[in-house]
Structure 1
């Protein structure tokens, strides 16, 4: 029987054209290669959540034991969210498009201001993230099955033709700039030192 799609060719060849013990080792190697990327992504996301969100915002005096506990919990949360997302999305290309969409709308404004605006601070970055998040998800998402709930212009058959992703990105960028300047006395910007 032929493989159902091109991505299944290697597992089919290994399974049907080799000895059972070679097939087991080969399929195990493919699974290990995939899992090494997955677990490193989950671990890095959890570490960033612990070191860059939990420690600076909630517990600046957190010791390594507390950070380790937070990172372990984040591994479970991110792993569960990734599993649910993988079960929901039908194509790797859809997942790639979704991730690049989120990076453009949510993370790009913070990156630009971190590099080019000396007055940008954490409060501005958080406010810009929230504004961009609301505007981005207000346009809905067919991949995640989210309906349009903000009244954007140019909506045809449930699809927003208005460039709401660019609006979300620019609004997030403007929010970071404005809120950072308004909260400069309360939370001054931290300058990066050379070599960081």
Structure 2
């Protein structure tokens, strides 16, 4: 049912900054959000239906330097569309886990993995109080609110402290923390309907 909804409300198209990957993307953000709430229950924004700048930059960085993830276990935290998880799998990561609290997000991630012929496992739920070990933890665009940043950063720092490579992609969101190590910066095309601009300067940071 969820997979059918995702397929019905998106169009598969190459990601602007990562054309090696096709992603199921919505053409009308507001119309899609209204459709997700048609059943009467309040739903989170359909983050899963767009190629956000942080995820695009992180996916580009991984594909350009596959040794970062090749042969290592990867967690794509707050996966959204699954773009970063798909990029990791394409770069040779094994196994790749995509996590989100939104079941529609995980349906989209599964659909996008299948469309790109890679294997990605999905896990639904809040992992931020857990301490599972992954070789690499990836997070695209997670510092968009004070609440989210306050919960995500301790998790990412714990993962780094356990020896994981922890990378985040961020287009200058308001709650980006200090103390991160800059790895690369890109000018990433974004949907003007969501970002009010055509391009976002986006940085891949390492959490240490």
Shorter-chain TM-score category?
Answer: under 0.3
Query: Which TM-score applies when normalising by structure 2?
Result: 0.22
Query: Which TM-score applies when normalising by structure 1?
Result: 0.23
The structure with the larger Rg is 1
Determine which structure has the larger helix proportion and give its number. Answer: 1
